[in-house]
Structure 1
Amino acid sequence: MSKIITSANQQNDALFVLIKSLTKSEKRQFNLYVGRLGGNIDAKFFSLFKFLEKLKVYDEKVIIGSGIVSKQQLSNLKAHLYKQILISLRLNPAHKNIRIQIREQLDFATVLYQKGLYKQSLKLLDKAKNMALDNEEKNIAYEIVELEKVIETQYITRSLSNRAGQLSIQAKELSQQNVIASKLSNLSLQLYSHLLQNGYVKNNEELEFVNEYFYSKLPKYDFKTLGFREKLWLYKAHLWFSFLTQDFLQSYKYAKKWVDLFKENNKLIVLHPVFYLKGINYLLEASFFVHKSSTFKHELAYFESEIEQNKIPLNTNTELLIFLYLYSNKLHLHFLEGTFSEGEYLVAIINDKINKYQNRLDDHYVVMLYYKIACLYFGMGKNQLCITYLQKIIRSKNLGSAEDLQCFARVLNLIAHYECGLDYDLEKQFIDTYKFLLKMENLQEVQKEFITSIRALSDVFPHEIKKEFKKIHTRLKKFENHPYEKRAFLYLDILSWLESKIENKPIALIIKEKSNRARKK
């Protein structure tokens, strides 16, 4: 883990990361673009591009030592190269999405307007506006209407009064929809930010605050007048609110609405593939949290079929998200069904892809995948391998917002050491875990109760151990559906582990039996 993080930090230069993200076709396009500029094929910026393309790790001393550019010129040359690459990418047909096409038409119309060719400008604007409205690009549509109004005041037509009225009404409607969309997107962003900074609500006081904040900021709206974009932000705001308040059934409801919205407007998947992918991931996550096994399997299979049929546009961004969401949820499926051993093949694939995407993968996602792999090995009874992956998380110093994962990794680490019979190391692990948990401001009762109980097991006689496990299970069971404590069981299935000790069965079998019972209900 530390190797990955160090490598990522060494290569976080914006230009270097951009060059390394280019596909073969994009590099070929850039070579052609530079060639068309004439006289630039031997220019310094192109020499710098070729040098950085071959460089494994970004190092300014090596770049300056190449003789391509002096230290004083490097900053300006990098800025120029960065701009030229972006221009080339903008010209690439693969990046010519609807939004860029509309912007292009608006730019052309502006040029025509400045030349006094009003009629031609209005014709292009009308075409661009229809494209914008058809594709829910209402901010650009509003810009276009405003420019149409400006031109109409200078290009006098016979139908000016009627035209002016139409444009005024259209501008007002678009403005109102943009205001609602802006308020909903602000609310969604603030809720997401609150979740990252403070985590889920932990008591009645926090719940009251979040409720008050959400309902006071939720704008008034007429649902019948909302378009795709406004509905999308509405569902997002409700989703984050439900996650914050740990109402995972509501999370499922709004994630489903989010995904269905795209399925009803298929062409917008092409325009907003990232939003669509995130919606799918939240739907799968919420299904997992509420143990909707059949729904989870169906949605995961549908997601895989869409990937196989290339229904989701592939670019460097979506390729990364597809990897994260697909393989995280493939692991979740084995957790749901207790088929841990059948999921072991995923480990090698995930590690290969972590290495492939390491320059662009956020540390938090890497740690999340390591934790899930550790859980997979724990479910298989391969506790030494479980500990190996947990140590990658525990020893990492650069996690920032992943404090929750650190906490659960340490608790699982304690259990895995206990299972391995590593008694000589157990006391040290307990002290380290306890020290870490004390630093956490939002330490949960489940965690306190559990680590205290685990430590006490060392003083229990072997013939009384099963009785002690039953006591721990009884103490923790009351938290399973607790509004503020149940989250602990989503990250670590402590109850199933305790039941496996009480019934003397593998944890995988306990989870499989629970899954089968749930399906029969």
Structure 2
Amino acid sequence: MANHQKDFLFVLIKSLSKSEKRQFKIFASRLETSSNTKFIELFNILDKSEVYDEKLILKSGVIQKVQLSNLKSYLYKQILVSIRLNIPSQNIRYQLREQMDFAVILYNKGLYKQSLKILDKTKQQALENDEKYMAYEIVEFEKLIESQYITRSIQGRADELVIQAKELNYRNTISSKLSNLSLQLYGIMLKTGYVKSDEEYKYIDDYFNRHVAKLDESKFGFREKYWFYNASLWRSFLVQDFLASYKFAYKWVTLFYDNPNMIYLNPVFFLKGNHYFLESLYMLKYKTNFKKYLNLLEETIADPKFPVNDNIASLSFLYVYNNKLNLHILEGTFAESEYLIPEILNKLKIHSEHLDEHHEMLFFYKIASIYFGIEKYNEC
């Protein structure tokens, strides 16, 4: 099982890649003065340590105990700042936030027209990428500037912004309601599991229908569809309607494949949707489609455009290898799957900090099933 460290700073430092550590040291060197070299020395001590040991830090003589807490907080913040400055430029959300910050700077300097120009361009980019929360924030900022009567803008501008604000607020409210419903159904699943009686079935059905009764699916955009399929999937799982879970998981996955730019903008949602879809195919023993969509998932992850970070790498490993084992179990090809076991055990060590014990146990259970299938009972 993973031995998760409790000290946040130590865990953060250990999560850094070699390039991120190099970038931080370059960044830190710019801050370095005779009065703040200690936070760099603390970084070096923790980077070289195998476990977090406060006694070892104090024994170095570099830092006094009364300084340690503040120094750790300062170091933690500077590491995050360093990472923030080196985020890949293709990340659309960071681009939007950066442009929003630029607009605020220009506004504070009294350069209103320049600020509005950036806001308008950023808003269009947000809408094109279905970032409606950011678009709404931009419209509210545009309203703030226009309300001061400082731009003498064309007639009708106020009405245009009010209409945009209402539309975005409505769509964001729908997304929020559906995401709340999804989270609540997931919480019920964790607390009570599948329904166990007709009464429980009726409760879940009524609960779901009550929350979606007034919604018009035909007017949904990408994000509203995503949350509707997500909530519908959890409702299907709860009542053990696996045909319905297959239906909504398929819609979830197809939604992304029909909007490929959203795969790269929302990779976690894409990965989870594929996992639930493959799980539904596994439940239904639909081997042909299972193999087809597992191969398609692997091809998409291998695409150079697919985002790469620690979280996504761990989820990709979890979902791909879990379903590779499922495929062999489904086909009964136990001997052919044995090659996966050393790969999985090695990757479990690499991703141990990002996986919970439940998912690790599932891997071990399935590995035991593989060994049982090839009659290696000691290994099992």
Q: TM-score, normalised on structure 1? A: 0.70
Distance 1:54 1:34 in 2: 17
Q: Which residue of 2 aligns with 1:88?
A: 82
Q: Which residue of 2 aligns with 1:24?
A: 18
Determine if the alignment matches structure 1 residue 73 to structure 2 residue 67: yes
RMSD: 1.7
Contact 2:89 2:95 in 1 (8 A): no
Instruction: Point out 4+ residue stretches in structure 1 off by more than 6 angstroms.
Output: none
Q: Which residue type is aligned with residue 167 of structure 2?
A: E
Match 1:52 to one of 26, 31, 46: 46
Q: Which residue of 2 aligns with 1:329?
A: 323
Contact 1:331 1:343 in 2 (8 A): yes
Q: Which residue of 2 aligns with 1:138?
A: 132
Determine if the alignment matches structure 1 residue 124 to structure 2 residue 122: no
Structure 1: segments with no counterpart, 5+ residues = 387-521
Following superposition, the deviation at residue 12 of structure 1 comes to 2.5
1:219–1:112 Cα change, 3 Å: farther
Determine if the alignment matches structure 1 residue 188 to structure 2 residue 182: yes
Percent of paired sites with the same residue: 55
Match 2:102 to one of 82, 105, 108: 108
Match 1:33 to one of 27, 45, 62: 27
Match 1:280 to one of 274, 279, 284: 274
Per the alignment, in what secondary structure is the counterpart of residue 379 of structure 2? helix
Match 2:159 to one of 156, 165, 169: 165
Contact 2:246 2:281 in 1 (8 A): yes
Per the alignment, in what secondary structure is the counterpart of residue 354 of structure 2? coil
Distance 1:255 1:275 in 2: 12
Q: Which residue of 2 aligns with 1:14?
A: 8
Match 2:247 to one of 243, 253, 269: 253
Following superposition, the deviation at residue 218 of structure 1 comes to 2.2
Distance 2:307 2:19 in 1: 16
Contact 1:235 1:257 in 2 (8 A): yes
Match 2:234 to one of 232, 236, 240: 240
Q: How does 1:77-476 map to 2 (within 5 A)?
A: 77-94=71-88, 97-218=91-212, 220-386=214-380
Q: TM-score, normalised on structure 2? A: 0.96
Q: Report Cα offsets for 1:109-168 as digits up to 9, x if no partner.
A: 112112221111111111111111111111111111011011012244554440001000
Q: Which residue type is aligned with residue 330 of structure 1?
A: K
Following superposition, the deviation at residue 96 of structure 1 comes to 5.8
Distance 2:89 2:55 in 1: 34
Q: Report Cα offsets for 1:280-324 as digits up to 9, x if no partner.
A: 111111110111100000011111222333342111011101111
1:40–1:161 Cα change, 3 Å: farther
Structure 2: segments with no counterpart, 5+ residues = none
Q: Which residue type is aligned with residue 78 of structure 2?
A: Q
Following superposition, the deviation at residue 242 of structure 1 comes to 0.6
Which has the larger Rg?
Answer: 1
Distance 1:219 1:144 in 2: 31
1:208–1:309 Cα change, 3 Å: same
Following superposition, the deviation at residue 368 of structure 1 comes to 1.0
1:152–1:279 Cα change, 3 Å: same
Q: Which residue type is aligned with residue 336 of structure 2?
A: E
Following superposition, the deviation at residue 37 of structure 1 comes to 2.8
Distance 1:145 1:308 in 2: 37
1:340–1:257 Cα change, 3 Å: same
Following superposition, the deviation at residue 250 of structure 1 comes to 1.1
**Number of matched pairs:** 380
